[in-house]
Chains A and B, each alone.
Chain A
C-alpha cells in the first residue's frame, strides 16, 4: 500500500516536472527540470524493478544527454535571450491538439486500463541486468553491434556538422 502511495507521488511529480519543462521560460531551467523529470522516470523504472534500464536511463539521459544540452546552451550563450512568444491562437490549438491526443490515447487503451487495475505482473525479475544481458548478447547481439556503427555515424556526423559549417556559410 505504501508502495502504491509512493508510486502515485512519483508519478505526479514526474508530470509536474514535465509541465515545468514545457512552461518554464528559461531554457536552462527547462533543462534542469528535464533532468528532474528523468530522475523521476528512473525512479519509476526502479519501482517496476527494471534495474538495468533505470541505470542506463540515469547515465545516458540524465547524465550524458542532458549535459550535452546544457553544453550547447552554454556554448550558444542563449540563457539570457528571451524566447519569442507564440501567438495565443496557435497555443490554444496546441493545447487542444495535445488534449485530444491525450484523450484519444486514453480511449485507445481504455480496455487495457480497466483490465490493468487487477492485472498482476508475472515475473518481476525480468528487468534485472542478468536477464537482459542474456537477451542482449544472444538474441539481439547483431542489433547491439550495429548500434555501435550508429554511434560512429552519429559521432562523425556531429563532428562534421559542427566543424565544416564555416565553409558552408560562404
Chain B
C-alpha cells in the first residue's frame, strides 16, 4: 500500500467510525457500536505501525489546496516523520485500549453511541493535529480536539445532580482553550507575515538559511505558541480547567486529559523547536512556568480527596515537568516523558475508572479503602501505575523523570532542587492515594461494600496491557550506563527523523554523575514509599474532613485559591463590564440618547405647537414682530 493511501486510511478510519456511529448508532446494538469504534481505531493503529516501520525521513502528503492567496498557499497536507508517526502511535494505541475499556465502562449509559462517535471524532482531530504538515492543519486539529473535549466533558449534561456542573466544566475548558487558541492564531498570523508560509519545513528551512530574521518577531511568535501550549496543556495560568474537566467520563479523562490532548502543547513546542531556539527568553519562560506548575499542582494534589482530581493535578504536574524539559531544550526527553506518561497515566485513570465503576460512581477516597481484596486486578495494575509515576527504579517513569532531572542538574541547580521537591510530592500524594484507596478498612458502608465488584474483561485487559507498558516503557530510552550500544534509542530515533532536532543534542551526564543522580532519586522514591507505607498503611492515617485541616492543608485542599482568584480578577470584572455596557452604556446612554433626540424633536414640536395659540392677536403680534425684524435686518444690511 502506498504511503499516502495508508495515511489517508489512518486518518479516515476514525472519521468513518464517527460518521457510522453518529448516524446509525441509535439503531445498532451497543456491542456493535463499541466494536466498530474500537476496531476503527485499532486498525488505524496497525496501519500507523506500518507507517512507523516504513518510516524513511520526512515525507509530505498533499491532499488538496485550501486557500490560494497571492502571497502564500495553504494546503491540506500531511507530514510523515518520526515525531508525527510516534505521536499517532501513542494516540491510536492508547486510544484503542481506552475504546476497549469504554465498552465495559459505558455499558450502562444512554448516550453510548454518542460517546463512541465523539471518541472517534476526537481521535480523528488528534491525528489531524499531529500529522498535519503545517500550522493551519494543526490548528484544525487543535480546535477539533478542543471541541471534542468540550463535548465529552459535558457528556453527562443530563445528570440529575451534577448536570449543570458538568456542562459548566465543559464550558470552562472550552473557553480556557480558546484563550490559548487565540494565542496560536496570533502566532500563525505573525508566521504568515514573516515567512509567507505555514509549512513546518519551509519555515524551518528559511530560518536556517536566513538567521538574521527579526528576533522580536521570533519572540512574539514563540510567546504566542507558548500561550497556546499553556492553554491546551494546562499550565499556569490556564490550568484550572483540567481538574474541572474530570467531570467527563473516566475514559475521556484517561484519553484526552491525560494521555493525548493535553500533550498537544508539548507536541507544538517540539514541532516548533527551530522557533524556540531563536527565542531564548521564551525558552526560559517555558522553564519557569513549567517549574511553577509542576510544584504548585503537586502541592495542591496533596490534600485532594477526589480520586480523579488527584490524578488530574498529577497530570498537570507531569506536564509541567515536560515543559521544564522543553525549557532546557531537551525536546526528545520531553517527548519520552510524554510517552511513558501516556502509559502510566492512562493506566492510573483507567484504574480509577475501574474503581469508580466498581464503587458505583463514588469518587471520594475517604469512602474507599480495602479495595485490594475486592478488586485484585485493578489493585495490582494501579500499584504498578503508582510506582511508575512515583519514580520507583526500573519502572518507566523512573527513566523518563531521571532524564529530565539530569537535564536540570546540568543546566540549573535551583531548577533541579525544585524538581526534587516536586517529584517527592508526587510520590507522596500518589502513595497516599494508593493506600487510602486499596488498603485499610472499607469506609463506604456495608451496603455499598456488598455491591463492589471487579470489572469485566474489556476493562481489565487494557489495564493489564498498559501495566506492562508502564513497567517496560523505559526500555525505549535507556540511559547510556545500561546498554552502551542501544542506549538512547528514542533520542536518536526522534532527532534523526524530525526536522530541527538533528542539531540539538541532549546532554548526557557522565557515568558517575548519572549513577549518583539515579541513586539519589531511587533513595528518595523508595524512602517515600516506606514512609507512606507507615503513615497511611500501618497507622491507618485517614484523610481528614475539611474542618480539621491545618493551614497548609487548607491551602492545598482549596487549590491555592486559583479559581477564586480568577473569579475575582477576571470573571467578575468581565461580568461587571458586561452589565455596565449592556445596561448602562447601551441602554441608558446610547438607546436613551437616540430616544432623547426623538424626544427633543417631539418637544420642540410641542413647543412650537403651543406657539400656534390660535389667538389672532398673538399671530398679529408675531407678524409685526417679524416685520420689525425684517426691516431691521434690511437696515443693518444697508448700513454695514
Contacts and interface: CB of A to CB of B under 8 A. Distances in A.
Interface in B581-640: 617, 621, 624-625, 627-628, 631-632, 634-635
A107 B634 CA distance: 10
Given A97-B624, A100-B628, A108 B617 contact: no
B628 A104 contact: yes
Contacts of A100: 628
B621 A104 contact: no
A98 B89 CA distance: 105
A90 B617 contact: yes
A107 B627 contact: no
A107 B624 contact: no
Interface residues of B, number: 10
Contact of A108 (B621, B624, B625, B631): B631
A100 B629 CA distance: 10
A97 B628 contact: yes
A101 B628 contact: yes
Given A93-B621, A94-B621, A108 B628 contact: no
A63 B15 CA distance: 112
Contacts of B635: 104, 107-108
Contacts of B631: 104-105, 108
A97 B631 CA distance: 13
Contact of A97 (B621, B632, B634): B621
B625 A97 contact: yes
Nearest to B615: A90
A87 to B, nearest CB: 11
A118 B621 CA distance: 36
Interface centre among A86, A93, A97, A105 (most CB of B within 10 A): A97
A108 B636 CA distance: 9
Contacts of B627: 101
A108 B631 CA distance: 7
Interface in A104-142: 104-105, 107-108
B186 to A, nearest CB: 72
Contacts of A97: 621, 624-625, 628
Interface centre among A93, A104, A105, A108 (most CB of B within 10 A): A104
A18 to B, nearest CB: 17
Contacts of A101: 624, 627-628
A98 B627 CA distance: 11
A105 B635 CA distance: 9
Nearest to A100: B628
A5 B624 CA distance: 33
Interface in A78-102: 86, 90, 93-94, 97-98, 100-101
Nearest to A86: B617
Contacts of B621: 90, 93-94, 97
A86 B621 CA distance: 13
A12 B633 CA distance: 30
A90 B619 CA distance: 12
Interface in B250-284: none
A52 B572 CA distance: 96
B617 to A, nearest CB: 7
A93 B624 CA distance: 11
Contacts of B617: 86, 90
Contact of B632 (A86, A90, A94, A104): A104
A93 B621 CA distance: 8
A90 B628 CA distance: 17
A101 B622 CA distance: 12
A90 B632 CA distance: 22
A108 B628 CA distance: 11
A104 B633 CA distance: 10
Nearest to A103: B628
A143 to B, nearest CB: 27
Nearest to B632: A104
A100 B628 CA distance: 7
Nearest to B638: A108
B639 to A, nearest CB: 9
Nearest to B622: A97
B225 to A, nearest CB: 81
A41 to B, nearest CB: 22
Contacts of A93: 621
Nearest to A93: B621
Contacts of B628: 97, 100-101, 104
A107 B639 CA distance: 11
A123 to B, nearest CB: 29
A96 to B, nearest CB: 10
A97 B625 CA distance: 7
Contacts of B634: 108
Interface string A144-168: 0000000000000000000000000
A82 to B, nearest CB: 18
Interface of B: 617, 621, 624-625, 627-628, 631-632, 634-635
Interface of A: 86, 90, 93-94, 97-98, 100-101, 104-105, 107-108
23 contacts: A86-B617, A90-B617, A90-B621, A93-B621, A94-B621, A97-B621, A97-B624, A97-B625, A97-B628, A98-B624, A100-B628, A101-B624, A101-B627, A101-B628, A104-B628, A104-B631, A104-B632, A104-B635, A105-B631, A107-B635, A108-B631, A108-B634, A108-B635
Given A90-B621, A97-B628, A98-B624, 15 more contacts: A86-B617, A93-B621, A94-B621, A97-B624, A97-B625, A100-B628, A101-B624, A101-B627, A101-B628, A104-B628, A104-B631, A104-B632, A107-B635, A108-B631, A108-B635
Identify the 4 closest CB pairs spanning chains A and B, nearest first.
Answer: A104-B631, A97-B624, A104-B628, A108-B631
